[in-house]
């Protein structure tokens, strides 16, 4: 049975169209999710919830412009990687499939959660690698230019880091059967959580970081500390690897409770420490 991707790489005009469509669809998704998060939290709610701002600093226009500029490069890289996924599929190398009945609904759901767990482990160790001296200076430093990130920083990467970020999707479609719906859900969830991590405001309740369940989930404060200190807190979705391998910020829970428990004017609050 023919599938929607048949023949794309044998037609140059079709390949160009797919590349452009991928860039635009990724761009629209980025603008809708990152842009909406920035608009709601940093503009509409900024005055009402100023006391929930993690750092007592408002990102300026220069920072926003830089984050968006690098994000355009990331969108181009993502579009190119989409083409690689298509090429692997046409070559019969990938295990991407389109008929739910092939593995059933239970596998479809399980495979989505599996992608999250695999990506969390992958990201942690790749992230640790990117903090090695030469790699950090030449690649990851671009992302860390935002010491007080906004949702626009979700895609603000050096092109090589963008390859490493989305490269996991290429690996996943090769090593495990993934329905196209799961792949798309994974990409959307990845961006959503990326925006949460770079939100700059903390809306989880006080005590969440100490809760038996909540303590394992990433918060905006957790990742903001990473941007602020340039070390600790390397996780993406969960704090599991940071806690197990001893890279969780030693004062994370205290700092989280300080931010989450704030009431009133931000001017009355104590900003986060650097270490």
User: What are the tens digits of pLDDT across the range 6-56?
Assistant: 555 555 556 677 778 889 999 999 999 999 999 999 999 988 889 999 998
Is residue 79 one of the residues assigned to a domain? Answer: yes
Split at pLDDT 50, 70, 90, the class of 162 is very high
Residue 146 has pLDDT above 50, yes or no: yes
Query: Can you read off the two tokens belonging to residue 55?
Result: 């750092």
Reported as a pLDDT band with limits 50, 70 and 90, residue 263 is: confident
Taking residue 47's Cβ as centre, other Cβ atoms within 10 Å add up to 8
Query: What's residue 268's pLDDT?
Result: 44
Q: What is the pLDDT of residue 46?
A: 86
Q: 208 in a domain, yes or no? A: yes
Domain-located, residue 231: yes
pLDDT score, position 8: 54
DSSP structural state of residue 205? P
Residue 200 has pLDDT above 50, yes or no: yes
Question: What mean pLDDT do residues 177-196 have?
Answer: 95
Domain that holds residue 208: 8-268
Query: Which residue from 190, 174, 195, 243 is spatially nearest to 215, judged by alpha carbons?
Result: 243
- DSSP category for residue 53: B
Tens digit of pLDDT for each residue in 234-250? 999 999 999 999 999 99
Residue 29 lies in a domain: yes
pLDDT tens profile 58-114 = 999 999 999 999 999 999 999 999 888 888 888 889 999 999 999 999 999 999 999
Find the mean pLDDT for residues 176-189.
Answer: 95
Q: Residue 197 above 90 pLDDT?
A: yes
Work out the mean pLDDT of the chain and round it to a whole number: 90
In this prediction the pTM is: 0.88
Assigned domain for 108 exists? yes
Q: What is the pLDDT of residue 4?
A: 47
> Virtual CA dihedral for 264, 266, 269, 275, nearest 10 degrees?
140
Number of domain units in the chain: 1
Q: Does the structure show a pLDDT above 70 at 265?
A: no
Judge whether 3 lies within some domain. Answer: no
Supply the pLDDT for residue 249: 97
* pLDDT of amino acid 22: 87
Rounded percentage of the chain residues whose pLDDT exceeds 90? 78
Residue 14 lies in a domain: yes
- Cβ-contact 239, 222 below 8 angstroms: yes
Per-residue confidence (pLDDT) for residue 2, from 0 to 100: 47
Asked if residue 110 belongs to a domain, the reply is yes
């Amino acid at each position: 049975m023919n599938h929607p991707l048949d023949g794309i790489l044998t037609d140059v005009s079709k390949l160009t169209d797919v590349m452009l469509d991928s860039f635009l669809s990724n761009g629209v998704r980025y603008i809708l999710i990152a842009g909406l998060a920035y608009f709601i939290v940093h503009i509409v709610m900024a005055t009402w919830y100023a006391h929930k701002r993690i750092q007592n600093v408002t990102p300026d226009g220069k920072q926003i412009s830089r984050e968006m500029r690098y994000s355009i490069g990331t969108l181009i890289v993502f579009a190119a990687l989409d083409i690689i996924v298509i090429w692997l599929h046409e070559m019969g190398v990938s295990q991407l499939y389109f008929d739910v009945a092939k593995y059933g609904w239970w596998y479809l759901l399980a495979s989505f959660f599996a992608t999250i767990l695999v990506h969390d482990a992958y990201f942690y160790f790749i992230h640790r690698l990117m903090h090695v001296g030469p790699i950090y200076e030449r690649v990851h430093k671009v992302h860390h230019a935002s010491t007080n990130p906004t949702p626009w920083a979700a895609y603000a990467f050096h092109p090589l880091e963008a390859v490493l970020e989305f490269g996991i999707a290429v690996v996943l479609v090769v090593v495990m059967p993934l329905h196209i719906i799961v792949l798309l859900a994974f990409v959307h969830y990845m961006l959503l959580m990326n925006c949460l991590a770079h939100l700059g405001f903390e809306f989880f309740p006080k005590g969440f970081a100490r809760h038996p369940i909540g303590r394992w989930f990433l918060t905006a404060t957790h990742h903001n500390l990473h941007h602020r200190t340039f070390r600790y807190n390397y996780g993406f979705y969960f704090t599991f690897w940071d806690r197990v391998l001893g890279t969780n910020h030693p004062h994370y829970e205290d700092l989280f409770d300080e931010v989450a428990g704030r009431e009133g004017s931000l001017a009355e609050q104590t900003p986060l420490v650097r270490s």
